[in-house]
Chains A and B, each alone.
Chain A
Amino acid sequence: MPLDDQTPGQKPGEARQFKVVGTRPLRPDGIDKVTGRARFGADMSAPGMLIGRVLRSPHAHARIRSIDASKAEALEGVKAVVTRADFGAGDDDVADILDNCMAGEKALYDGHAVAAVAATSAAIARKALKLIDVDYETLPHVVDVDAAMKPDAPVLHEGLSDETVPDGVSQNVVHRVEFGHGDVEAGFAKADKVLERSFKTAATHQGYIEPHACLATMGTDGIADLWVCTQGHYMVRNTCAAILGIDQGKLRVTASEIGGGFGGKTTVFLEPVALALSRKANRPVKMTMTREEVLRATGPTSSTSIDVKIGMNKDGKITAASADLRYQGGAYQGSPADMGSMTAFAPYDLENVKTVGWDVVTNRPKAAAYRAPGAPMAAFAVESVVDELAKGFGLDPLDVRLKNAAREGTKSSYGPTFPAIGLEATLQAAKDHPHWKAPLGPNQGRGVACGFWFNFGGDTCVSLNITPDGTVTLSEGNPDIGGSRASMSMMAAEELGIPYDQVRTVIADTGALGQNEVTDGSRVTFAVGLATIKAARNAKKVLCERAAMVWGIDPEAVEWADGCARPAGDNAGKFPPMSLKEIAAIASNTGGPVAGHFEVNAEGAGVSFATHMVDTEVDPETGAVKVVRYTVFQDAGKAVHPAYVEGQFQGGAVQGIGWALNEEYIYGEDGRLQNPGFLDYRIPVASDLPMIDTVILEIPNPGHPYGVRGVGETSIVPPLAAIANSVSEAAGVRMTDLPMSPPKVLAAIQNG
C-alpha cells in the first residue's frame, strides 16, 4: 500500500529534530539478560514433558531401503518414534523443507535426519536411537560445487534443472541466472588492462551460540502450541501447519528469546518433528540440538567458485566487468547465486556489465540464509580484482572506487536506477578518516572494500495499546534479535511525545497479531518501526478525538504535540492541553479503551552501502594473520539507537573476519563433515581482535518516516574482500581462496 512518507508538519527536505530517536537508552530486556532469567529456546519445560532426539545419516548420499524401529519402540520409556512415513505428502511449497527435516527416499548429506524418538529422558532417547535399524544403500556423493556441475557428477535429484539450464552440465545445476547491460566484450577491448581471476570461498556457518530448540504440545484435535527459538514464529507456524496438514489458526507459536540467528533461524528443522512426536505420544516434547547437529544439519552458507574479469583504464575508469558465480546450496535448490549475481557490481557505475549465477546442489546440508545471503562472496571476488587493478596502475584504491562509484541516477548492474544512496559518502568518510593515513608497521597491509545490500520490508503488524494509567504497551511480531524492542519503544515514544520508559514493547505470539514476515532482510527497524509509527499516529488520532469530545470542539481542530492534545489554533478555542495520561484516565467515559494498530506489507525499503578499512599483520614464518585495526563506514539512514547500530556494524565485520581467516566446512573423502564443533570450526574469539571502530553516516531513506534504513546485513558484505586486500598487500601475494588460514597464507608466501 502507498505510505505517506512525510511527517505531518515537516517541510520536505527539512531535517526532523528528534527527542528520543538517536539517544542510547537501556534496553527493556536488559536486566533479564544480565541476570540469567531471560528464557531462550531450551529454557522452557512443561509438565509430563518428553525429550526428543533425532537419528541422523552417517552417509553423504544413500538410498534408505528400510527403517526398523520396533526395538526402539519396545524400549521402556520410549513413547513415540517417527520417520518420514509419519508425515503426509505435504504441500509442494514445503516439500524440500519437509525432506530436509526428515529424509524420504534418500539421505542427501551427512547429518540428514532419518528418524526421531521421544522418551522420558534424554538418556533413554539416545539409547533408543541406537536401536533403530536403517538399511542404507550408499551412493556416490559430491560436495564441491565445480565437481557437482560436471556432466558425469553423481546426481542428487533427477530432473531438477529448470528451463534456464543449458545442455552439457550436470542435473545438479538447478538454475542459471544472468544480469547486466551493455556490451562487455566491446568494453574489455577498450581497456588499458583486463584482469581475470578465479576465487573460492568455503562454506561457513552462521554460528549462533544458541542451538535450535523447541517445546511442542499437540493434541489429537489438531490444536497445538509451540515454544521455539526462531527468527520468525509466524513462518514456523505456517510451515509446520503445511507440513503436518493442520490449520494455521490452530497452531499457536510463541517465540522464545533468540540466541542469535543471522539468517540461520529463518526456516524449520526440529519443529515439525517435535510436533509429530507430540501428536503421536500425546505428551509435550522438548527437542534441542547439540552443536554437532547444528553444524552437520542446519544451514551453512554456500561454498562458491567465482571468476571475475574487469577492464580498467590507466586513470582508474572501469570499462567493463563480468563475473561467473557458482554457488552450491547443499542438497536442495535455492543457493543465493542470484543474490550474488545482483549484488556483485552494485557499488559501481558501469557501462558494460554482465553476471551469470549458477544454483547447484551437492551432498551438503541445505544452505540457509546468512546475513546478506550470497553477497559477501561476490564482493570478495569483485573487490579483489578492483583492488589489484588499482594498485597495478599505482592508483589509490579509494579514489578508483570513488571514480566508478554508483550514485543517484546510476543504472545499477542488476537493473534499476539508484535513488539517493550513501556509497560515495562512505568512501569519502573513509578517505577523510585518520585510519587511512596512519602509518603501517612491518608485515602489515591495509585493505578497503565496498559492499551493497538490498534490505526489504514485508508483512508487518503492530498493536499499540494505552493502559488506563496512560502507559503504553506495544505488541509486535518479530523476534528481537539485537535490541529491536528498544528501538520500537523509542519510535513509539518519539511519536507520542512521551518518555521512553513509558512504553513497553513485547513480542506477541501468533495468536495475538496478523501475519508477520521473518526477522530478516534487515527489515525490523525499518518495517516494524514504520508500523509502530503509524500505529502511534492512529492512536494519536483517537486521543485527539477524545479531547475534542471533552472540549466540545471539532476533532479536526485538535492536534497532538509534546505528548498532549492541544487546540490546533486560536480559532479552535482556548483549552489547557490534555496529556496522554489525562485522556487515558477518562477513556472509559469517552468511548472505551484507546489503541492504535497498523498492518502493512511494508514495501519499498532503501538499499544500503558500506565501506570497510582494515589493517592486518602477517607472520611470515607461520602464515598467521592478525587483524590490527578495523573501521566500518556505513549508511544507516537514521540511527534510532546508535549503540545497537554500532553493534550491528561490529558484529557483521567480525563475522566477516571469521569467514575470511578461519571458518570453513571441511569434508573428508567420505563426504562426512570433519569439524562439527567449535574447537575445529573456529569462530573469532576476543583475543583475535582489536576494537572495531565505526562511523555511522545518515543519508535518510525517503521510504521511512524517520529516514531509517536496515543496517543488519550490509556490514558482512565488505569484510572478506577488505581483509583479502589487506592480507594480499601484507603478504605480497594475491590471496584468492578463503579462508586465508595460516597454512594457505604460508604456502602462498613460499610459492611467491
Chain B
Amino acid sequence: MVRIWGSLTSATDGQADVEIEATTLKELLDGLSEKYPAIRPQLQRGVSVSIDGKIYNDSWFQPIKPDSEVVLLRRIVGG
C-alpha cells in the first residue's frame, strides 16, 4: 500500500492509497509506473519516498516490509 499526494490521484483514478506488490523501493516505483502510466512524468521529474517515516531519494534496494507505511513525496530539496 502506498500513499500518494493529492494532485497525483488524477493518475490513479482518484485513489490516494494504491496497492502495489513490492519488497523494495525499486519494485515499488516500477510497479507504480506499470500500473499507472499517467504517473510516469512525475516519477521522471523525481520523487522522494517515505518508508516508515524515513525519507529515501534513490536507494533502489531499500527493503519495504509488508506492514511498512510507504508515502510518495515530491523530491525533497535543501539549502
Contacts and interface: CB of A to CB of B under 8 A. Distances in A.
B71 interface: yes
A557 interface: no
A163 interface: yes
A569 interface: no
A606 B76 CA distance: 13
B36 interface: no
Contacts of B72: 415
Task: Choose among B5, B69, B72, B79 the residue with the greatest number of A CB atoms under 10 Å from its CB.
Answer: B79
A356 B7 CA distance: 9
Interface in B9-58: 10, 16, 38, 41, 48, 50, 52-58
Contacts of A162: 41
Contact of B71 (A176, A416, A456): A416
A416 B50 contact: yes
Given A180-B6, A601-B59, A703-B54, A415 B77 contact: no
Given A181-B16, A416-B69, A416-B71, A605 B77 contact: no
B78 A373 contact: yes
Interface string A676-711: 000000000000000000000000000100000000
Contact of B74 (A266, A342, A522, A523): A342
Contacts of A179: 5-6
A635 interface: no
Given A369-B79, A414-B73, A603-B54, 17 more contacts: A1-B59, A164-B7, A177-B5, A177-B74, A180-B6, A181-B16, A263-B79, A336-B77, A414-B5, A415-B5, A415-B50, A419-B52, A520-B78, A521-B76, A523-B78, A604-B56, A606-B54
B79 A371 contact: yes
A419 B55 contact: no
A454 interface: yes
A2 interface: yes
A371 to B, nearest CB: 4
Contacts of B73: 342, 414-416
A338 B48 CA distance: 12
Contact of A603 (B7, B16, B57, B69): B57
A604 B54 contact: yes
A598 to B, nearest CB: 16
Given A163-B41, A179-B5, A414-B5, A456 B69 contact: no
Interface in A354-386: 354, 356, 369-373
Contacts of B77: 336, 339, 369, 373, 520-521
A350 B62 CA distance: 29
A667 interface: no
Interface of A: 1-2, 162-164, 176-181, 206, 262-264, 266, 336, 338-339, 341-342, 354, 356, 369-373, 414-419, 454-456, 458, 520-523, 601, 603-606, 703, 713
A342 B50 CA distance: 13
Interface in B55-70: 55-59, 61-63, 69
B78 to A, nearest CB: 3
A605 B38 CA distance: 30
A206 B79 CA distance: 10
B55 A2 contact: no
Contact of A713 (B3, B7, B79): B79
B58 A178 contact: no
Contacts of A342: 73-74
Given A177-B5, A603-B59, A521 B69 contact: no
B78 A2 contact: no
A338 B55 CA distance: 16
A266 B57 contact: no
B20 to A, nearest CB: 15
15 contacts: A163-B41, A177-B6, A369-B79, A370-B79, A415-B71, A416-B50, A416-B73, A417-B52, A454-B78, A520-B79, A521-B77, A523-B78, A601-B59, A603-B57, A605-B54
B75 to A, nearest CB: 8
Contacts of A1: 59, 61
A262 B61 CA distance: 32
Nearest to A338: B74
A747 B58 CA distance: 50
Nearest to A702: B54
Contacts of B59: 1, 601, 603
Contacts of A454: 55, 76, 78
Contacts of A341: 74
A606 B53 CA distance: 9
Contact of B55 (A263, A354, A605): A605
A263 B77 CA distance: 10
Nearest to B16: A181
A218 B64 CA distance: 47
A416 B78 contact: no
A458 B59 CA distance: 10
Nearest to A265: B79
Given A263-B79, A414-B5, A339 B53 contact: no
A264 B16 CA distance: 35
Nearest to B54: A604
A752 to B, nearest CB: 38
A521 B5 contact: no
Contact of B53 (A416, A458, A713): A416
Contact of B79 (A180, A181, A372): A372
Nearest to A605: B55
Contacts of B16: 181
